[in-house]
Amino acid sequence: MTKAQATPGYDRSAKTLVTGVIGADTHIVGNRILSMALEKEGFKIVTLGALTPADEFVKAAIETAADGIMVSSLYGQGELDCRGFRDLCVEAGLEDILIYVGGNLVVGRQDWADVERRFLDMGFDRAFPPGTRTDDVVRALDADFAERERRSAKAS
């Protein structure tokens, strides 16, 4: 396991991330650990907690001008709950917001590559399997935000 970079090449404290557990799902522990880890790494975190409907993620992201939404789902219904999530963001004027999803996203033993593909097709920027380390998430965020900064620097 590699440690997340100490100097990611952009200002983490300028990035606001909304976290929460989607749907009728009360499993809060993993999401809380993720939120604490991200906060410790310097991100500004807005925690919505368990049992959060999809539209509340979007509303919180609007008020806080969030840069990313981290959706947790641990009860196997993630595919149903997350359907149309990107569309909701686009509707609300958050076309470019970074959206990640992670947890026990589906029931039964399914091939992860297949599950990941389905969530990426739904418009998520990244999907994470069970057992993901928080450092992996931080590294993914660093890569994606740095890439976006480069893109916007090039565009201007």
Active site amino acids: 25, 27
Closest contact distance (angstroms) between CB of 156 and another protein is 18
| One residue of 49, 84, 129, 130 binding another protein per CB under 8 A | 49
**Rounded Cα distance, 126 and 26, in Å:** 23
Which of 92, 83, 80 is CA-nearest to residue 124?
Answer: 83
Q: Does 108 sit near another protein (CB under 8 A)?
A: no
Q: Which is nearer to another protein, 46 or 88 (CB)?
A: 46
Q: Which is nearer to another protein, 55 or 147 (CB)?
A: 55
| One residue of 42, 76, 134, 146 binding another protein per CB under 8 A | 76
Closest contact distance (angstroms) between CB of 143 and another protein is 24
CA 151 to chain centre: 20
Residues that bind another protein (CB under 8 A): 16, 18, 24-27, 44, 46, 49-51, 59-60, 62-66, 75-77
